[in-house]
Amino acid sequence: EAQVTQNPRYLITVTGKKLTVTCSQNMNHEYMSWYRQDPGLGLRQIYYSMNVEVTDKGDVPEGYKVSRKEKRNFPLILESPSPNQTSLYFCASSRGLAERYQETQYFGPGTRLLVL
């Protein structure tokens, strides 16, 4: 089954404790990205990746890091989480430039993070 998976689905942590949220897709997609969703602000892109070893900042990258060492995985790293990073996080993937006109984005189920 084609899907985007995220782990963990729920996480409670404390300020300053490094954490990683994993994201994996099995569709051989080139593009992957991370969004956060907050009430009143909607979904905002954090980082995206065009392909392996190619990443770039989205609209709200501060406080986050990403890496793309393999095509299928795109982990989101919070080096020193703060309470304002409490949010619902989504990973998404889509096909590459050759398929740009059919680039429906596929989303993971979300990770709900609470930083105390």
Partner 1 sequence: KQEVTQIPAALSVPEGENLVLNCSFTDSAIYNLQWFRQDPGKGLTSLLLIQSSQREQTSGRLNASLDKSSGRSTLYIAASQPGDSATYLCAVRPEWETSGSRLTFGEGTQLTVNP
Token readout for 52 is 């392996």
Cβ atoms of 74 and 68 within 8 Å: the answer is yes
Query: With binding defined as CB under 8 A, does residue 51 bind partner 1?
Result: no
Which CA distances in Å does 67 have to 34, 62, 111, 114?
A: 11, 15, 18, 22
Question: Measured from the CB atom, is 4 or 78 closer to partner 1?
Answer: 4
Binding partner 1 (rule: CB under 8 A), the pick from 40, 62, 69, 98 is 40
Token readout for 8 is 């963990």
Query: With binding defined as CB under 8 A, does residue 48 bind partner 1?
Result: yes
Binding partner 1 (rule: CB under 8 A), the pick from 65, 73, 107, 114 is 107
Query: With binding defined as CB under 8 A, does residue 13 bind partner 1?
Result: no
The DSSP result for 46-73, as a single string, is EEEEEETTEEEE-S--TT-EE--SSSSB
Binding partner 1 (rule: CB under 8 A), the pick from 33, 68, 81, 113 is 33
- Interacting span for partner 1 (CB under 8 A) from 16-24, 68-76, 79-87, 102-110: 102-110
Q: Shortest gap between Cβ of 6 and partner 1 (angstroms)?
A: 8
